[in-house]
Amino acid sequence: MSDPIQFVENGSVTTPSGFKACGITAGLKASGKADMAMVYSDVPANFAGAFTSCLFAAAPVQLCRQRVLKSKFIQAIIVNSGNANACTGKPGLENAEKTCAAVAAVLGISPEAVMVSSTGRIGVNLNMEKIMNGVALAAKSLCSDGGLDAAKAIMTTDTVHKCAAVTLNLNGRKISIGGMTKGAGMISPKMVLPHATMLCYITTDAQIDNALLAEMLGNGVDGSFNRITIDNDMSTNDSCILMANGKSGVSIAAGSEEAALFSEALGRLMQHLAVAMVRDGEGATKLITVDVTGARNRDEAEKAARAVANSMLCKTAWFGGDPNWGRVAAALGYSGAMFEQEKVDVFYNDKPVIRQGKDAGTPEKTLAAEMAGKEFTIFCRLNAGDGAYHIWTCDLTYEYVKINAEYTT
């Protein structure tokens, strides 16, 4: 039986029916590259959002949280790169509101139907003249194949744009889900509902109410963006927004088989975008999966996985191709997960590294060969219970230090 969920070649946020997007240059970046994106639905769309749990949440995040709580529909998202509008106090919040009002005026919709995001340097006020000019240009540039340009316009230190889409058939009718994301550094989201720098925008032409969208988005975030870490730094601006405009004519109800299939498709898309972010991590040369099983419970499995994934000693060893498994053992030991070291087994891919808490005897050359590829998995078997968790991370390189030592957007 063929897979009912299929990825679309060159898919983006404009793959679903009834969505337009664009990416333009407003002049916010010194580089002169595209720095503003707009996503627009032809009709009001149901929506859900998840945002950073950082207490220094940026002004756009604060405003969008209110939209999630108070607005029934949204119709547009405006995103600028080059300036985070974070730690800018009351003027920053006012500027976020002015940006939404400008978008609303030029599109003929309510300001409450506009979501806003920013990414870039923290602590600098927006140049509102450039923002206003950019909004006007973006509105004129909206088109049904503008998803790729939008994905490029939200990049900061990213080296490649990240967008994708999937289609699925429900009762003989096709619906689409499209998405775009950015983020290569300051990535260790812990996004919460409703109140994840990574930015993600997802569109679908299915008809789904806000409550069900929120549930699906929460599950999707838990299985994707909240399971990635590049440098264990959470951004002030992390945001993930999902819009559903119903233009396909397919309605999805809670508890239905259609809802289960849609949720699976959404999860696959989000995971694809999340892993793409880790692959493009600042300076990264390797994608590493840390898979922990046999913990006493899920929480302890997550603690163990994150300790290994975020260990600078582990990350630098991975960059150097050094099998130094003592660093993995140490990270597991200080993670807060409880286990008996004599029962722990660790593998690099399928090669045993630790057996019952001691050197498994696999030659270092063999282990180094497992680490030589661009992707590998570290399996940690704690043998203390049935808790499991996996996380995607990357290595730590000279280039990461260079990028962040010189970073000014």
Q: Distance of CA 4 to CAs 7, 212, 261, Å? A: 10, 21, 9
- 181, 197, 203, 393: the catalytic one is 197
3 state SS of 263:
helix
Look at residues 353, 369, 365, 374 and name the one whose alpha carbon lies nearest to residue 308: 353
H helices present in 72-181, as ranges = 89-107, 128-141, 147-153
Q: How far is the C-alpha of 191 from the C-alpha of 214, rounded, in Å?
A: 13
> Using only C-alpha atoms, what is the Rg of the chain?
22
Q: Distance of CA 176 to CAs 6, 62, 144, 229, Å? A: 10, 30, 14, 28
Look at residues 132, 147, 156 and name the one whose alpha carbon lies nearest to residue 41: 147
Give the list of residues 6+ apart from residue 318 with CB closer than 8 angstroms, or none: 286, 288, 371, 395, 396
Q: Is 197 part of the annotated catalytic residue set?
A: yes
Angle separating helix axes 89-107 and 59-70, nearest 10 degrees: 60
Q: How far is the C-alpha of 345 from the C-alpha of 257, rounded, in Å?
A: 39
Amino acid (one-letter) located at 10? N
Residues involved in catalysis: 197
